[in-house]
A and B are shown apart, each in its own frame.
Chain A
């Protein structure tokens, strides 16, 4: 390996840093070579910024060493360091009423001789850097006249103008919209791959890190827990351990790059408001039941659903939450088998909810099968207002609906109304015992 003979642009060895009483970094060894884009990932407080500040010399390590192009950083003067290493912090003062051009020109400071002014070359470099980030036509504006995202790109331009072989970027995409996030990282990557710069980039967004970085280093409580190509580093186990999230890791078919879809934590812990939890069955289809299923599941109800087609959104949602569901194959009328399955769930339900699903001849049975339960189990019909738009049976379904209503089924507008019905608030405790349907308590037991 000949490459090992060339010293890394930045390398740290066994770095331990204490900030006050907390240990911010523990024995971290890491290096980045010329032409390489390294992403540092990790949750808030994992030590990413501390690592960057330590490399810069703003924080002194308790143990360990820092090398810039093979030279111990301590041996370099401040301006020699500034010619090797540029830094984009998370926050930065906008300067004192300067123009964007003057601001970017500050990046040339380490290259300007002490007894002289900025040369034409310095001005050209600043101009080019502004063009790089798409702010070339605003060079004469003042720094306080631009938006937060533009200021972010301006700071990046200042770093580009510094023309150093190594860059430290702390959350360079933090205030940017999606298009600019991609553009900025693409530019940094090009700087590395084409011009041989070395970049260390703290990134919160793991998908961006996986997509743009050659390597991802993961910090957790100040320890380096992984370092390597994104595909090798990112794993469900790591995500669970470091970030405490459950995520689906997929692979982008176009690039082969891993990307992850984090699962949302439930809004509130699943604590049923009574034990055993009330059993609620939701009749749905076409995605109409999904929001209701999710809300009920989060509130701690024992939820069931049916009959929905395989691959229907409602089916996917039910599977996601482990909700028992009666299933039919797609685009087929409800079979006897699925209806039997459905009836079994209906019998055990304490409450039945009818989601605003589109009714056609194929799934009319979903409504008809409710008729025997009307008057026995409380039934709630959601979204009556939209009925005309989703009745594709020529009025047959409406007739079934009317029979349900006649037998005591209640009409509700939103899932919120439904939750209020299912979870009587403590203040309305007086009406608690007055079940709308006398038979319900008997069935519930």
Chain B
């Protein structure tokens, strides 16, 4: 080969470049796992009601061990039994399920975003931007609006959310098969999002509900958190994560386009159908309990890709971890930014995510990213 090696680029061995990536994967995973653990431990300290940290800790230990350890929950400070019961209620029945739900829902959204970006070969795909979340919220709100009366049953809410999310899911799947331009898909999402938002707002305004307010559904929150709900979302993440992990290598090949992928033995449509279905279900489960939370699904896979490269086998699980950490942090922030007021969690995620979205939108046009399409 008449090659002209430029000075500096000495012998590059295969995998020489992938080795650091692999190490980065482990480092990033451990780092994110550490952050998650930290958030899990520290977040219950945060809330509008001041509770001594020691009490929070012992309530946590007490609850987690089923009372076997840490004897009485409030033994560290001298308080009345009534006060202790209130604190226990707050920490064990509200704060801890809330942070676990935030972690699980964030993971669900991060994983969904990563899967959708892979399926659509579009860095701007995200359950919120494509209208899946809003559709799901609309579906879930139907239960309250029409007083179907089964809202207390755990799985009914996610089921209605799923049915609501399927509408934009199917439309977007159909649109992706037709539209070639990146912007078309995003604009389809914008239209769907706006449509379902309006529908949701109309439902809620016609039928005002005490507990479930417009802001909860449109901007999200952990007010409805219970251990059971957190558990459902967490289980959903595990199942969907399993499905996505099996499809990781196929997602990688799909980035070469559906035809080339097919010539390499990958049925792009089947992968897309399966992952869109899984993603819709996962997003719907999260939305059913937390409302619509934007940008977690968009931001997480991008930052993860920056860290560990484009391999979806790493991007998907790490997006889940990152999404969990992102939403949990946002939830903490939402509780402390304004004293004595808990903001909808969608506000901090939008403040962080929307500028990032614009950055992505404009950065893609610069040549530094190289040719795409």
Instruction: Indicate whether A and B interact.
Output: yes
Residues of A within 8 A of B (CB): 53, 56-58, 77-83, 85-87, 89, 92-99, 101-102, 106-107, 109-110, 112, 114-115, 117, 123, 126-127, 130, 134, 137-145, 162, 179
Smallest beta-carbon distance A410→chain B, Å: 53
Among the interface residues A79, A98, A114, which one has the most CB atoms of the partner chain B within 10 A?
A98
Report Cα–Cα, A79/B257, bound state, in Å: 16
Q: Do residues A95 and B11 form an inter-chain contact, with CB atoms below 8 A?
A: no
Bound Cα distance A83, B263 (Å) = 9
Cβ–Cβ contact B12 & A92, under 8 A? no
Query: In this assembly, does B264 line the interface, its C-beta being within 8 Å of a C-beta of chain A?
Result: yes
Q: Is B373 in contact with chain A by the CB < 8 A criterion?
A: yes
Interchain Cβ contacts under 8 Å between A and B, 26 examples: A56-B259, A58-B259, A58-B262, A77-B265, A93-B373, A94-B372, A95-B256, A96-B310, A97-B305, A97-B309, A97-B370, A98-B255, A101-B14, A101-B17, A101-B18, A107-B264, A109-B249, A110-B265, A123-B14, A127-B14, A134-B3, A137-B3, A137-B5, A139-B16, A141-B12, A144-B369
| B1 is an interface residue with CB less than 8 A from chain A | yes
Tell yes or no: B215 within 8 A of A by CB.
no
A106-B256, A114-B246 known; A130-B14 Cβ under 8 A: yes
In the bound complex, what is the Cα–Cα distance between A31 and B265 (angstroms)? 23
Task: How many A-B residue pairs have C-beta atoms within 8 angstroms? Tell me.
Answer: 110
B243-281 contacts to A, CB under 8 A, are: 246, 249-250, 252-253, 255-257, 259-260, 262-267
Q: Which residues from chain A contact B355 at a C-beta distance below 8 Å?
A: none
A425 vs B250: C-alpha distance in the bound complex, in angstroms? 66
Q: A109: which of B253, B259, B311, B369 is its contact (CB, 8 Å)?
A: B253
Q: With A82-B264, A82-B265, A112-B249 known to touch, is A98 a contact of B310 (CB < 8 Å)? A: yes
Q: Which residue of B lies closest to A81 (CB)?
A: B265
Which among B3, B121, B267 is the interface contact of A93 at CB below 8 angstroms?
B121
Determine whether the beta carbon of B267 is less than 8 Å from that of A95: no
Assess whether B206 is interfacial by the CB under 8 Å rule. Answer: no
- Asked if A93 meets B14 with Cβ closer than 8 Å, knowing A56-B262, A110-B264, the reply is no
Please tell me if the beta carbons of A96 and B255 are within 8 angstroms of each other in the complex. yes
Instruction: Report how far A179 CA is from B315 CA in the complex, Å.
Output: 40
CB-defined contacts of B264 to chain A, threshold 8 Å: 82, 106-107, 109-110, 162
Contact with A along B334-362 (1 / 0, CB 8 A): 00000000000000000000000000000
B80 interfacial by beta-carbon distance below 8 Å: no
Closest-by-CB residue of B relative to A79 is B265
Interchain CA distance A78-B264 in the complex, whole Å: 8
Query: How far apart sit A112 and B259, CA to CA, in the bound complex (Å)?
Result: 19
A101 and B257 form a contact (CB under 8 A): no
